[in-house]
Amino acid sequence: MKIALAADHGGYALKEFLKGHLVQRGIEILDLGTDSEASVDYPVFGWACGEAVVLGRADRGIVCCGTGIGISIAANKVKGVRCAVCTNAFMAEMCARHNDANILALGGRVLGEEEAASLVDLWIDTPFEGGGRHRRRVDALNDM
């Protein structure tokens, strides 16, 4: 599996931490920046991650900003992206199980590093329930 990672300055430190975590899990990384704590604009990075996933340069994506909110809004502008901001384990599990989220958004000023890594693991390890109503709803999202 290959995961694209993107962050603004507010999510930079968390992105760097998660890179190590993912590599330890044997997951290939596509790092789309940013590369420092210098101030940048999150829409650029959210969009880049969304494009990378939709164009098949990565299987999934993780985006980080201060809250996870701004960069998730940007990623969700790309058709085919289902980006979910998660702040706890239940959300991380459900965004995989019910929403088939292909990008996870996390807040570097909201979550601790280990907490964020545990949400990433849940999101990766929880299968989409598929079939029936969840598939129908995800298909409807994709058609919008």
Closest to 141 measured CA to CA, from 92, 76, 46? 76
In this complex, which beta carbon is closest to ligand RB5, that of residue 8 or of residue 100? Answer: 8
| C-alpha to C-alpha distance for 72 and 66, rounded to whole angstroms | 11
Residue 10 binds to ligand RB5 (criterion: CB under 6 A): yes
| C-alpha to C-alpha distance for 16 and 12, rounded to whole angstroms | 6
| C-alpha to C-alpha distance for 101 and 81, rounded to whole angstroms | 8
In this complex, which beta carbon is closest to ligand RB5, that of residue 79 or of residue 109? Answer: 109
| C-alpha to C-alpha distance for 94 and 57, rounded to whole angstroms | 25
Task: Name the segment binding ligand RB5 (CB under 6 A); options: 64-72, 80-88, 90-98, 129-137.
Answer: 64-72
Applying CB under 6 A, among 69, 89, 94, 124 the residue interacting with ligand RB5 is: 69
Instruction: Provide the token pair at 14.
Output: 């968390």
Catalytic choice (49, 65, 83, 95):
65
Applying CB under 6 A, among 46, 50, 61, 66 the residue interacting with ligand RB5 is: 66
Give the residue numbers marked as catalytic.
65, 98
Binding site for ligand RB5 (CB under 6 A): 8, 10, 42, 65-67, 69-70
